[in-house]
RNA sequence: GGCGCGGUAGCCAAGUGGUAAGGCAGAGGCCUGCAAAGCCUUUAUUCGUCGGUUCGAUUCCGACCCGCGCCUCCA
């Protein structure tokens, strides 16, 4: 079966390909008015896994993500903090980039700042005006959605019941129609603004994504990702803007990531269940645990975050790492077992098939763990030979090229390797004379330094860092 | 009210018109001086409820119940 994704636009799972094997992809990035929480990261780990899988399937990526560094909340909070826009947003932009880096989220080819693209947004608004899609009211420019009959096609909302031209009373805005949205906001006292041909003011939120996406990716994108909550109105408005200008289909595939809840409830400050990556770190969880947890549930399925789930992720990762260590450390007998090669082949194709099916990571992991169990069993029985090593390591490497969790972030070992080896040798001598008390004492000492020992059948002792 | 998603073992979760992947946790066992790691057995006669279609439905259809999201800013 070919690679396929569920497309919000058509509400169907569709085969994916591009003419030139280049994927033009846009991801709605963060609004940098605070530290990102773990729910936000689901929306960024998803496109990361998507990127990695597309590359594994031979595509070249041209991926753009925006940083929204001008909007109402930013203005509100920066004023409150007594900081300039740039002073205020740069803190959270840096934090976001650091967090996503520690979560091993690959950097898109372009990370673009909204405030650095004001001219592009002005031009987009002007083009919409030329095409009769806008009107000005009290200095602000609005998009008149009655000029875009297809409005609602992404969110599958029917807006035909809303009367075009019916004046809507609204405390804040003076719009002709309730669904019209602002493209350019007239300047207000004490707020940052730009003096431009379309007036003194600042951009509306929606226009930045359309303008920047088209600047870097052209008129038509292959994939656009974002959280489900952005489907309406943000992405609907992006379509109205871009297609209002070009008359061409803006995006072929709209992919939306479901939300994360915490203890079955929406994250909110009042419930005290908003967690950041730093919070998890303080509780002893490394970033890859969150990465695994968020990646293990298919992106279109709601995910309920619990600390038990996070612990399970840690244990699962450890199982995979142990397997990798075993492959590295075990002395294998000569030869190649065809059955083991077949297992690797079956697991590999099951993994591919699962990922091709709209990134079914849960099923892909099922293939991985089944393979690990069977191969551990073969290692126990000696049915796994030297010649089977490469296919096993290759499969594990493929898994890790997508999930990227095998490399430990924190090496909690607080002892030099030579010293560890010396103690292991001393323990071996103690064991030889059945001085188990001394042997256990040494093992305890090493454990206190974050070192876990494993005695193997052939009398060797391996060590590994303790899990946090 | 409109649009959309979901209800599968203690928890997370995959899946199919033909009789329930995988992970975590629990229990028992093998291995081990003891551990660690690993393996084996065990844990859903059953997939929200009630009807229907079918030789056969968890999987299709209908109704209902429950949870959630969006419809204003939101990943």
Contact A382, A333 (CB under 8 A): yes
For residue A425, give every residue at least 6 positions away whose Cβ sits within 8 Å of its Cβ, in sequence order, or none: none
Closest CA to A197 of A249, A127, A257, A261: A127
In the structure, how far is the CA atom of residue A467 from the C1' atom of nucleotide B36, in angstroms? Answer: 13
pLDDT (0 to 100) of residue A161: 58
What does the pLDDT look like over A430-447, one tens digit per residue?
Answer: 999 999 999 999 999 999
Q: Say which CATH class A277-403 falls into.
A: mainly alpha
Tokens of A201: 């003011």
Task: Name the strand (E) or helix (H) holding A321.
Answer: helix A307-329
- Which of A204, A154, A294, A218 has the alpha carbon at shortest distance from A25? A218
Q: Is A200 helix (H, G, I), strand (E, B) or coil?
A: strand
Sign of CA dihedral A148, A150, A154, A160: positive
User: Which residue carries 């920047």 as its tokens?
Assistant: A212
- List the A292 CA – B52 C1' distance (angstroms): 43
Burial class (CB in 10 A: 0-12, 13-18, 19+), A388: buried
Of 3.40.50.2000, 3.20.20.140, 3.30.70.3270, 3.40.50.620, the CATH number of A19-257 is 3.40.50.620
pLDDT at A159: 77
The nt closest to A374 (CA vs C1′) is B39
- Location of structure tokens 């690959």: A106
Q: Do domains A19-257 and A277-403 have the same CATH topology?
A: no
What pLDDT sits at residue A171? 43
Q: Which of A274, A150, A143 is nearest to A205 (CA)?
A: A143
Nearest to A124 by CA among A29, A195, A217, A210: A210
Quote the distance between the C-alpha of residue A179 and its chain's center: 31
Q: Residue A168 has what pLDDT?
A: 45
Q: What is the pLDDT of residues A158-213, one digit of tens each?
A: 876 554 444 444 444 567 788 899 999 999 988 999 999 999 999 999 999 999 99
Task: State the nearest residue by CA to the C1' of B14.
Answer: A363
Å from A157 (CA) to B68 (C1')?
A: 19
Residue–nucleotide distance: A333 CA to B62 C1' (Å): 62
Residues of chain A with pLDDT under 50: 163-172
Distance measured from the CA of protein residue A301 to the C1' of nucleotide B53, in angstroms: 30
Nucleotides of B under 7 A from a protein CB: 2-6, 11-15, 21-25, 31-40, 67-75
Please name the nucleotide lying closest to A38, CA to C1'. B75
Residue nearest to nucleotide B67 (CA to C1'): A264
Helix axes A389-403, A38-56, angle to 10 degrees: 130
Kindly report, residue by residue over A101-110, the tens digit of the pLDDT. 999 999 999 9
Residue A310 C-alpha from the chain's centroid: 17
Closest nt by CA–C1' to A377: B39
- A154 CA, B3 C1': separation in Å? 11
Q: What are the structural domain ranges in chain A?
A: 19-257, 277-403, 417-465
User: Could you write out the DSSP letters of every residue in A259-294?
Assistant: PEEETTB---GGGT---BHHHHHHTT--HHHHHHHH
């Amino acid at each position: 079966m070919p690679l396929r994704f569920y497309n919000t636009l058509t509400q169907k799972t569709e085969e994916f390909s591009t003419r030139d094997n280049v994927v033009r992809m846009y991801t709605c990035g963060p609004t940098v008015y605070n530290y990102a929480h773990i729910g936000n990261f689901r929306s960024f780990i998803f496109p990361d896994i998507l990127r990695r899988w597309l590359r594994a399937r031979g595509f070249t990526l041209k991926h753009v993500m925006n940083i929204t560094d001008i909007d109402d909340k930013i203005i509100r909070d920066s004023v409150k903090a007594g900081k300039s826009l740039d002073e205020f947003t740069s803190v959270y932009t840096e934090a976001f980039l650091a967090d996503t880096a520690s979560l091993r989220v690959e950097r898109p080819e372009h990370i673009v700042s909204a405030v650095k693209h004001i001219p592009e947004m002005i031009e987009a608004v002007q083009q919409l005006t030329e095409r009769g899609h806008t009107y000005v009211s009290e200095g602000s420019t609005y998009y008149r959605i009655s000029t875009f009959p297809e409005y609602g096609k992404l969110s599958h909302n029917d807006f035909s019941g809303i009367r075009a031209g019916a004046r809507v009373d609204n405390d804040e805005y003076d719009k002709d129609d309730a669904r019209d949205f602002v493209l350019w906001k007239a300047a207000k006292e004490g707020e940052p603004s730009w003096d431009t041909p379309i007036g003194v003011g600042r951009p509306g939120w929606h226009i930045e994504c359309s303008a920047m996406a088209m600047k870097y990716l052209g008129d038509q994108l292959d994939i656009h990702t974002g959280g489900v909550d952005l489907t309406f109105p943000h992405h609907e408005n992006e379509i109205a803007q871009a297609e209002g200008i070009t008359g061409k289909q803006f995006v072929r595939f709209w992919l939306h990531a479901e939300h994360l809840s915490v203890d079955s409830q929406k994250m909110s400050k009042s419930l005290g269940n908003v967690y950041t990556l730093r919070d998890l770190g303080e509780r002893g969880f490394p970033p890859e645990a969150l990465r695994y947890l968020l990646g293990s549930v298919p992106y279109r399925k709601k995910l309920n975050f619990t600390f038990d789930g996070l612990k399970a992720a840690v244990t699962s990762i450890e199982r995979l790492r142990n397997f990798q260590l075993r492959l590295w450390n075990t002395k294998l007998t000569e030869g190649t077992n065809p059955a083991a090669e077949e297992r690797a082949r079956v697991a590999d194709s099951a993994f591919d098939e699962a990922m091709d099916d709209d990134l079914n990571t849960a099923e892909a992991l099922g293939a991985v763990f089944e393979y690990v169990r069977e191969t551990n069993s073969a290692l126990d029985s000696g049915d796994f030979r030297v010649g089977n090593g490469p296919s096993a390591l290759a499969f594990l490497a493929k898994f890790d090229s997508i999930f990227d969790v095998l490399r430990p972030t924190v090496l909690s070992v607080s002892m030099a390797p030579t010293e560890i080896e010396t103690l292991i040798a001393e323990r071996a001598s103690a064991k030889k004379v059945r001085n188990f008390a001394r042997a256990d004492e040494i093992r305890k000492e090493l454990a206190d330094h974050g070192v876990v020992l494993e005695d193997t059948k052939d009398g060797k002792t391996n060590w590994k860092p303790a899990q946090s």
